[in-house]
Structure 1
């Protein structure tokens, strides 16, 4: 398959070997994994994902952090995801009087693979669907019945948080995140309506819950970061993962965040409001008042990795990011790629500069040498580069 380009990155179909079921019934172990669709909202498809048979590596079929840890290639990730059957049913986002939804919620809360028995209404459709936000999804089939054949293993802190219907969703996410529970798990339990005040709980399409989780965790981290001391010198971090090269610059100053994304070699970016070859979004110390429409979920995913690093350093700064999407990024695998590529970049050693202009010249030279890209147009409109130094007191 050819590189998709921005103009075709939304939906791609990739055919792997079909799953051949002898009947419409099978046993499997969910990674655990659940998926809530967005089409037809507020009537949506809710799916429990599982392979056919009990797989020893089932956990690996829905674990971005393990994909990174094991240095899996794009094709290996898609092959793992293509083994999952999405056994789905229709539900209203507010209808919790549904046995299949109860089972989906139990699976979603589990931290280890869950053995299930599934009866389908039809054979799975074996096209692997890829998009920019969610992990690859395949083998959709309408489900008649799902049974748990073992008790799901659920952490006590998760069970207590889910049971607390007086706890707001933001507070629940923060509580679990500080206990070491990652964003992949948090987005799942948010999607199946397990967080928030009891009267407000509802199903949230997975596509939306992923970005909502990244945004929520980021905003909670920022509450502390904004009181940190300012970083002393300009730092440059670089790194890449699955064809996504990040150049992340930390400048002395109060927190702000600016992201430029572009494919290299250049091609027109259809998400750009200006019709340019790049997509662009920005926030100052006060944050955004609207969704980052150009860089979308990648904006919040990359920001999370950046805020985690600032939190670790106990510092704040103005952060300028260049994302170069190159030919190794052959397929859209989900926004987790941006999050993990950012984390990998920030785990690398950094270069430190006393002078801001020297740092900029280094980045311009790097972009030219590595991708034959001239960054002058981007740096000329950068709010962070061209901003006058502001003090924290200016925002209080």
Structure 2
């Protein structure tokens, strides 16, 4: 665990704000931005809350504005790049001897109360989200042992998925009672070598992620795409656990909640060779959120919708249909309806 030390400039908060990066920074910009940070870390027990370093980490995490910090390292920090599908890039790292927060952190009153109280982490996460606090801020507090009955540190990777899962499940409990979406809609966006096509189908809640690593992309050196799918049906229980899936699920449910509708939703994520260095699941979450800000195409039938889907995606429609559990269900339901 540790704190990120940004270069001295007039926008230190920008280094930790993925919402501000989307559409403004390219992949090189993001890597350059994040690798200019010094990540000061120290190995701590997940249950350790007595050490002054642990307290300083929590103070920095809970502050809604960046705070000035003094950090003493055991050895000079060194470049140790971390590039990961879930985590934001990290460049320079150093083991901490001492951390001091040299100004008063700005902590919302209720956040300070939740840190002192011992209520389930799930309830605390939901309360903070409902109050309007940013999901990335909630992740920081959760990871820094600020929430829960038994306060303990949580690895960042687990934190990201846990927060997405908790919040999306909270929204799902509302969405499943809404009326069904009235029309087919297709949204599309692309960012830093990731292409997202979102297909909304009238019906009861279901969702599917079709993740396609295209040939010659970062994890697929060969000539054939790698296709991975996760889906859930009306019961809200996915057939697999995946961090990218939960980032998509949260953004889709946020949109449906605003529309006061439920629907079947298929999200095709295509990763191209342009995405040569993964920069974290934030770009998945923010890409879906931004896709829903675009004007959708509204086909009048399933056949027309599939034709549009074929134009939007690099993967062939045949491959999408072959790998999609939801399209199989929708097509079978349509055949039964037409038969009767």
The CA distance in 2 between the partners of 1:353 and 1:330, in whole Å, is 34
Q: TM-score, normalised by structure 2?
A: 0.91
The CA distance in 2 between the partners of 1:190 and 1:49, in whole Å, is 16
Moved more, 323-332 or 248-257: 323-332
The CA distance in 1 between the partners of 2:216 and 2:323, in whole Å, is 18
Secondary structure of the structure 1 residue equivalent to 2:292: helix
Map of 1:25 onto structure 2: none
Q: Decide whether the 8 Å contact of 1:195 with 1:201 is kept in 2.
A: yes
Are residues 385 and 290 of structure 1, via their aligned partners in 2, closer, same or farther at CA, if it must alter by over 3 Å? closer
The CA distance in 2 between the partners of 1:361 and 1:343, in whole Å, is 24
1:324 aligns with 2:270: yes
Q: 1:204 aligns with which of 137, 140, 154?
A: 154
Map of 1:3 onto structure 2: none
1:287 aligns with 2:236: yes
The CA distance in 1 between the partners of 2:231 and 2:263, in whole Å, is 14
Map of 2:179 onto structure 1: 229
Deviation of the 1:341 alpha carbon: 1.0
Deviation of the 1:68 alpha carbon: 1.8
- Give unpaired runs (5+ residues) of structure 1: 1-45, 391-396
Q: Decide whether the 8 Å contact of 1:268 with 1:278 is kept in 2.
A: no
Q: 2:137 aligns with which of 182, 185, 188?
A: 185
Q: 1:248 aligns with which of 192, 195, 198?
A: 198
Map of 1:24 onto structure 2: none
Q: What's the RMSD between the two structures over aligned residues? A: 2.0
> What does the per-residue CA deviation read over 1:337-384, in whole Å, with 9 as the maximum and x for residues that have no partner?
1111111111100011221121012211332xxx3x312132134221
The CA distance in 1 between the partners of 2:22 and 2:323, in whole Å, is 34
Moved more, 327-336 or 108-117: 327-336
Q: Decide whether the 8 Å contact of 2:27 with 2:192 is kept in 1.
A: yes
The CA distance in 2 between the partners of 1:100 and 1:267, in whole Å, is 40
Deviation of the 1:264 alpha carbon: 3.0
Secondary structure of the structure 2 residue equivalent to 1:94: coil
The CA distance in 1 between the partners of 2:238 and 2:22, in whole Å, is 33
Which residues in structure 2 correspond to 1:1-396 (within 5 Å)?
A: 46-51=1-6, 54-68=8-22, 71-165=24-118, 167-197=119-149, 200-265=150-215, 277-288=226-237, 291-292=240-241, 296-367=242-313, 371=314, 373-387=315-329, 388-389=332-333
> What does the per-residue CA deviation read over 1:45-89, in whole Å, with 9 as the maximum and x for residues that have no partner?
x1111135x3212111111011126x1112212222122111111
Secondary structure of the structure 1 residue equivalent to 2:68: strand
Number of matched pairs? 329
The CA distance in 1 between the partners of 2:115 and 2:100, in whole Å, is 22
The CA distance in 1 between the partners of 2:216 and 2:68, in whole Å, is 47
> What does the per-residue CA deviation read over 1:183-214, in whole Å, with 9 as the maximum and x for residues that have no partner?
111111111111112xx321110011011111
Deviation of the 1:161 alpha carbon: 2.3
